[in-house]
Structure 1
């Protein structure tokens, strides 16, 4: 490796681990006694998000609030940095010999550690140990890896930190230039745009520990990793393995629970027997190697619990591309394709799927769950290291996706893609996706009558927490969305990606967002925690935004945009905002960069950093005012540095356009 490349990798490491003054960092000396545990949800006091998000059985503790002799990174929301991708925008960096110690808030026998370690200089990751000690006595070692993190370069990204531009003829997002058309061509250094730094790992502790017991994570001396960043620890009390006696046990059909032999054919045989006899298929505790899709239709498959039953496989290169364009296959449970009638009466529960996806290939079907499944349920799964946790291509109807944990995906957590109707996604926990956490994408065929309810989405590295692209009569309710990093918002309503129009009713109710409203690196403006984007059509469905809380917004709480080339063609209308609480905006409550209209009732705001309504309309600045009109239905209170957020002089369409207002960082959220 050349000295220049070595210096580049060293400079990258220094930047992302917080040695750069941009990231900050504070050293903490060890204390004789660990502090009392500080429980959080999405980095917040749980009281601030009561009733919102997934109802989970684990307790979250942020590393920066625990006892440590390491260095706290952040807070920082700047893309391509470790703090920005951390929960709560802070984490703790440890060097060999340093530790972070947590106090259990309740009985537990299992932990999940979210962490980052460096990439190998030539990409592809490395492994490093992390010692886990309970009460200074019981010790085990986790083997951390960066093989599933550290992506670089342009979309859809590369694993090679030393590669040149993936698409030299493309516009380079975030600098708006074409290298071949620029004299001289811009110098793109390597590594270029590192991201997706974090991974997580689970560990059964071997026994039950009590509230007040201390779990210390220590980087051992001589670790292969120059540094280890700990973001958080989740602790929980995992129940004993579930047993299904009256079932087709896969062991009886030749499955290998040690994972040494491939068990795909044995699972197929168990499924065939179960369908003939009306039994369930049971996956006892073990690790089952599966390196292809398992086709499921009219069958129930259950495990002993996601901590005990793991279906794990490697990504396999296909000799020739599949008809759908896939160049790889891998572990996954798939319904039949919709063109073949789809699958029905599929029920998957209580096991883990561990993939081996380390790169993003958009044509690949290397998702944990896929195909079409009507009248089906998916619950209690742990989905890890696949491309998308669950990707459904309809038409299909009446699917229930409940109580799953979906983490460390290369792309989306879940996507209803085309023609999914009458389905519910609830109580799912989604963290560290490489694209939208949860999405409804009505490409070619509309999604209708679906609900995303009581889900938690944390730290999507790219795009949105929850995204709606077209559709009819859909609902997003009672969700908790935190810490989107770039090119997205907590919730986006977008007419884009070839989506069918929004029609009927759209309900966005009783959600909480926090530390959202990112900086759009291409437009160089701040977005909103809730983002309406009219790119390919009008957005004109009856849209009711009710009962939501937008907390600690980096820029705006709500943004309405029609892209510049189409701003005189498409508008955003029929919007109704009611009973909202907005606590902290770096800039405005509402930023309107489109034609259209909206009503506001009982929208309370405080700690507003700039003018309450940044109303640019379509930037024609006509004597009649902005092309976006606001109607005050009463009860709109509060404001910030410039007075009432919705002042009489702003109505109905006063031009108050400040394209890039100064940002005033809001205080931490507090009880209303």
Structure 2
């Protein structure tokens, strides 16, 4: 989880079997073409087959192709589930390493004129990938750098150097069809994980009546700072639209926005370079629109005392963020104050050193949907009910891939919250695919209350070993970390694929034996679990029905509340369960993944 200036919320998810530590953090991730790795000594066992598509997740404008499924003369790496390795942070836990002159060639699944590549280069190095189409050199080169990778967060106990991957994109200058070939040739050592192929529409035209930033002196070449020009255009367009023509713009300071829409020609064309784009305590009118442009920062480390975010604070009520490409910020949107009825949809948030989106208390009826998030250095999507409860807000239909130091989706307190129809893939360390938690981090905190609805989510290779606990975290975790779960938690229609450890986990992460109760699980498919289906570690109760499991590593149930003597966890099995009726019977040891 991300920490704002003045807060001390970050820490290790702290508990082992012998002692209870004090603090915590979380983790998870997604991808598009899903791949089943082969089990190795460092890789928990997996089911034999993985679907190539899922009903959950965002409706995306691109299609991803894994490098390990392409043609290459390079070296395949992975699968690996070891924290602190390049392969363990890759989608599918596999990738392709190229030496200078080696290549990986993709067959296009559909029409495309653009590509975005997720890659890693050795620390301190740069390079490029030359792009060939159907055997011809396009003249395009994809720039590679380690500048935004290799992050260390010493304040988070148990973390290692992480955040190995980055994204780099290029317009190809030609239209290609399904079945065409795109080859990437390395100038130096590079690990290619996945390529996103997209048919990008032509740049849009300015709408009638819009106020252009260039008319107020903005420099589309990026040579001069355009902060004053953007501010002047915003002031002139009050109640209307600010137009950002195609170009690259430098904005060095935060912009004031209220009752105005900032609109670009498309997020491949209108690009703003800013590490601190919007930072305001309130926008009294609200009705802010941020649409169809890119904001790319220069954040190379995580400084929790710095507001290096795309949006920091409040946009005001009835605002919309859509069609944005946000990259190389600390946080995408760190939302405090009045953001009532905010809609965040159809955005790409990539390569942040901390959270993707965090509703940081007092968020009412915020809808975050159809977004793609990759390579977050903390929770990809989070609600944290600090100072006031988040209420009536929902994360729905998002695709999350490879957060590398926290959960895919985390709900820390709040009232009447929804987590629906999301696709989450490849958590790496210190977290779960989804966490429903009463971990407070700071006060005043408002625990879970009302009804928490978790429905229709797909979790692929999620869950990870917590080095501070000395054992794993499940793919979907309900955590009475600092206080008993008193909310009604309804978990329905979940799909688990290749969970490296357990599917469901019920725990008090602080090690104090708080109760997880009022939980109903109704409908789940578990296709591969490395250890157990249900991991119960604290007192409380849950009713579980219609959960069908195959490929379970050891036993169906681990039920060992901690600390010893704190109480019992009552697991009531309803109808329709199958494949997980055995029980782990040695509470002095943990089942090992198979």
Regarding TM over 0.5, the answer is: yes
Q: Distance in 2 between matches of 1:43 and 1:310?
A: 33
Q: Deviations over 1:402-441 (max 9, x none)?
A: 0000000010000000100111000000000000000000
2:20 corresponding residue in structure 1: none
Normalised by the size of structure 2, how large is the TM-score? 0.89
Deviating more after overlay: 541-550 vs 240-249: 240-249
2:78 corresponding residue in structure 1: 74
Q: Deviations over 1:357-416 (max 9, x none)?
A: 111111211101222121110000000000001110124310000000000001000000
Give the one of 272, 279, 295 matched to 2:240: 279
Q: Distance in 1 between matches of 2:292 and 2:372?
A: 15
Are the equivalent residues in 1 in contact too, given 2:319–2:341 (CA < 8 A)?
A: yes
| 1:173 to 2:134 alignment | no
Which secondary structure does the structure 2 equivalent of 1:269 belong to?
Answer: helix
Structure 1 residue runs of 5 or longer lacking an equivalent are: 1-38, 121-125, 157-171, 175-192, 314-329, 640-644, 665-672
2:21 corresponding residue in structure 1: none
1:352 corresponding residue in structure 2: 294
Q: Distance in 1 between matches of 2:446 and 2:203?
A: 45
Are the equivalent residues in 1 in contact too, given 2:482–2:510 (CA < 8 A)?
A: no
- How many residues are matched? 546
Normalised by the size of structure 1, how large is the TM-score? 0.79
Q: Residue 440 and residue 657 in structure 1: after superposition, are their counterparts in 2 closer, same or farther (change >3 A)?
A: same
Give the one of 518, 531, 546 matched to 1:574: 518
Aligned-residue offset at 1:112? 0.4
Are the equivalent residues in 2 in contact too, given 1:460–1:485 (CA < 8 A)?
A: yes
1:265 corresponding residue in structure 2: 228
Q: Residue 245 and residue 475 in structure 1: after superposition, are their counterparts in 2 closer, same or farther (change >3 A)?
A: closer
Q: Residue 660 and residue 550 in structure 1: after superposition, are their counterparts in 2 closer, same or farther (change >3 A)?
A: same
Q: Deviations over 1:478-506 (max 9, x none)?
A: 00000010000100112111331100000
1:396 corresponding residue in structure 2: 339
Q: For 1:462-501, what aligned pairs fall within 5 Å after superposition?
A: 462-496=405-439, 497-498=441-442, 499-501=445-447
Q: Deviations over 1:129-178 (max 9, x none)?
A: 2211111213322221111111236236xxxxxxxxxxxxxxx637xxxx
2:45 corresponding residue in structure 1: none
RMSD over aligned CA atoms reads: 1.9
| 1:207 to 2:165 alignment | no
Give the one of 228, 235, 243 matched to 2:197: 235
| 1:366 to 2:308 alignment | yes
Q: Deviations over 1:513-555 (max 9, x none)?
A: 0111211111111110011222211112100000111111111
2:24 corresponding residue in structure 1: none
Larger Rg: 1
Q: Deviations over 1:256-280 (max 9, x none)?
A: 11111111111111111111xx431
Give the one of 277, 290, 293 matched to 1:332: 277
Give the one of 262, 267, 281 matched to 1:306: 267
Q: Distance in 1 between matches of 2:108 and 2:236?
A: 45
Which secondary structure does the structure 2 equivalent of 1:566 belong to?
Answer: coil
Q: Distance in 2 between matches of 1:441 and 1:474?
A: 11
Are the equivalent residues in 2 in contact too, given 1:62–1:232 (CA < 8 A)?
A: yes
Are the equivalent residues in 2 in contact too, given 1:588–1:609 (CA < 8 A)?
A: yes
Q: Deviations over 1:72-103 (max 9, x none)?
A: 00000111001100011000001111111111
Give the one of 99, 111, 116 matched to 1:112: 116
Give the one of 320, 327, 341 matched to 1:377: 320
Q: Residue 403 and residue 40 in structure 1: after superposition, are their counterparts in 2 closer, same or farther (change >3 A)?
A: closer
Give the one of 581, 584, 587 matched to 2:531: 587
Give the one of 58, 64, 68 matched to 1:64: 68
Are the equivalent residues in 2 in contact too, given 1:613–1:656 (CA < 8 A)?
A: no
Structure with the higher fraction of residues in helix conformation: 1
Q: Distance in 2 between matches of 1:658 and 1:212?
A: 55
Aligned-residue offset at 1:463? 0.8
1:325 corresponding residue in structure 2: none
Aligned-residue offset at 1:445? 0.9
Deviating more after overlay: 237-246 vs 302-311: 237-246
Q: For 1:383-422, what aligned pairs fall within 5 Å after superposition?
A: 383-422=326-365
